[in-house]
């Protein structure tokens, strides 16, 4: 077998145990244990949620910056801002500035939580001269339609008396007009791509408030109030901004931040994994490879809906490169992924063990399983 074989390792994070970078490092060690002279290309990935900044920065040779911004409750938080190699593309995870993990359970209330800090991260990216923004909008604590984000960038929201609105989704119930005249002018020269893999509209039974409000602390009464507030917001966006985005799939993502980014900043919602694969130039890195290894914490039928293994398998199949998935847990329903280009899949578990044990030993288990897959690959490809 040619010892200069090229193998790409392109995993998602194994949530709770390994970041995508740590998973890629463990997989690379497993490959090199068996094929020490192989060309191994580590490519940590994300589907647009947790780990987006880290994956795009690591994969592009960029840098991580830490900024102080306003958290969802109005208090300061530290959030990462990623600069991809080249310095003109910034990567933002809204959850780092406006995420549910930043709000103690007893204080969760989407009537008052704000996306203001996400807008501040955007402003800081503009200060750095970035002309391309990639924004992941999963994991929000908010239901303000992106009003806070827009307020941080100069958009003004008024009530019937001409008074400025405050913070939180509850304030949208008083919205009477929107003024974009003070919107940061630098945004006119910026391209904004929004990583979004949910298809919820802004309002209604499948909208932001009804589907996601309860997990953010909304009572049934709050859900109804928030939904009516977003309906009002949608109508005024149409009248004052000239944008009808409420029914676009993904408008309801992150408590309506999807709608706000589209209507107020001209953002474009795209599949998270497709965005990441394109940004990291996956095709050129995988072209000519003998094998692509990918993985995630749990691999099942849900992986067919915009997850990392699906995106990797589809693009690799187009290149004629076989794909193997190695996951923490594999369920029988994962069989549907074979038709999408997954050649085979394996669990890292090598004995009966508790979830806690598996997570604690994840790096070693992943490395060992990759080594066994590469041994099998070597047997199959012996000259």
**What pTM value is reported for the model?**
0.87
- pLDDT > 70? residue 22: yes
Which residues does 213 contact at the CB level (< 8 Å), separation at least 6?
110, 143, 222, 223, 226, 255
**Average pLDDT of the residues in 231-254:** 97
Burial pattern 280-298, b for ≥16 Cβ within 10 A else e, equals bebeebbeebbbbbbbbbe
* Chain segment 130-165, per-residue pLDDT in tens: 999 999 998 899 999 999 999 999 999 999 999 999
pLDDT of 381: 75
pLDDT tens profile 248-268? 999 999 999 999 999 999 999
Mean pLDDT, the chain, integer = 94
Predicted pLDDT of residue 358: 86
Delimit the domains of the chain by residue range: 6-45+286-380, 52-272
Provide the pLDDT for residue 161.
97
* pLDDT at res. 310: 92
**Taking residues 3-31, what's their average pLDDT?**
92
Q: What is the pLDDT of residue 2?
A: 47
Is the pLDDT score of 1 beyond 90? no
Note the pLDDT tens digit of each residue in 275-311. 999 999 999 999 999 999 999 998 988 887 778 999 9
Options 3.40.50.10350, 2.60.120.200, 3.40.50.970, 3.40.50.300; CATH of 6-45+286-380? 3.40.50.10350
When pLDDT is averaged across residues 265-274 and rounded to a whole number, the result is 95
- What pLDDT does 281 receive? 93
The rounded distance, in Å, linking the Cα atoms of 290 and 8 is: 8
Give the model confidence (pLDDT) of 168-206 as tens digits: 999 999 999 999 999 999 999 999 999 998 899 999 999
Fold adopted by 52-272? Glycerate kinase, domain 2 (3.90.1510)
Instruction: Answer yes or no: is pLDDT of 375 > 90.
Output: yes
CA-CA distances (angstroms) from residue 24 to 30, 45, 299, 373? 10, 9, 17, 15
pLDDT of residue 383: 54
**Exposure string for 333-359, b = 16+ CB within 10 A, e = fewer:** ebeebeebbbbebbbbbeeeeeeeebb
Share of the chain above pLDDT 90, in %: 84
Bridge partners (DSSP) of residue 270 are 195
Mean pLDDT throughout 39-64?
Answer: 91
**Percent of the chain, pLDDT > 70?**
99
Lowest-pLDDT range of 28-42, 140-154, 346-360: 346-360
DSSP output for 353-380: --HHHHHHTHHHHHHHHHHHHHHHHHHH
Q: Give the pLDDT of residue 198.
A: 86
């Amino acid at each position: 077998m040619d010892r200069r074989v090229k193998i790409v390792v392109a995993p998602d994070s194994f949530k709770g145990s390994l970041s995508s970078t740590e998973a890629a490092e463990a997989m690379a060690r497993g490959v090199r244990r068996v094929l020490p002279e192989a060309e191994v290309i580590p490519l940590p990935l994300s589907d647009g949620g947790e780990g987006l900044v880290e994956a795009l920065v690591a994969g592009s040779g960029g840098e991580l910056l830490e900024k102080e911004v306003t958290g969802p409750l109005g208090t300061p938080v530290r959030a990462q801002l990623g600069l991809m190699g080249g310095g003109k593309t910034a990567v933002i995870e809204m959850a780092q500035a406006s995420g549910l993990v930043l709000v103690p359970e007893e204080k969760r209330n989407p009537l008052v939580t704000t996306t203001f800090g996400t807008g501040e991260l955007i402003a800081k990216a503009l200060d750095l001269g970035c002309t391309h923004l990639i924004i992941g909008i999963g994991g929000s604590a908010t239901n303000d339609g992106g009003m806070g984000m827009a307020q941080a960038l100069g958009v003004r929201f008024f009530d019937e008396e001409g008074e400025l609105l405050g913070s939180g989704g509850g304030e949208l119930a008083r919205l009477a007009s929107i003024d974009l005249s003070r919107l940061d002018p630098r945004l006119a020269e910026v391209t904004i791509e929004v990583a979004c893999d949910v298809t919820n509209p802004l309002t209604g039974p499948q909208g932001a408030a009804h589907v996601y409000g309860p997990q953010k602390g909304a009572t049934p009464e709050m859900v109804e109030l928030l939904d009516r507030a977003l309906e009002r917001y949608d109508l005024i966006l149409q009248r004052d901004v000239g944008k009808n985005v409420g029914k676009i799939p993904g408008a309801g993502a992150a408590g309506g931040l999807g709608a706000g980014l589209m209507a107020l900043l001209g953002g474009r919602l795209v599949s998270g994994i497709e965005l990441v694969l394109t940004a990291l130039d996956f095709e050129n890195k995988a072209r000519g490879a003998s094998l692509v290894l990918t993985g995630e914490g749990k691999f099942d039928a849900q992986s067919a809906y915009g997850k990392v293994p699906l995106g990797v398998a589809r693009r690799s199949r187009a290149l004629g490169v076989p794909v193997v998935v190695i996951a923490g847990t594999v369920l029988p329903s994962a069989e549907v992924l074979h038709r999408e280009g997954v050649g085979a899949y394996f669990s890292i578990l090598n004995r009966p063990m508790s979830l806690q044990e598996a997570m604690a030993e994840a790096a070693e288990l992943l490395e060992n399983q990759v080594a066994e897959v590469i041994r099998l690959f070597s047997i199959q490809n012996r000259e």
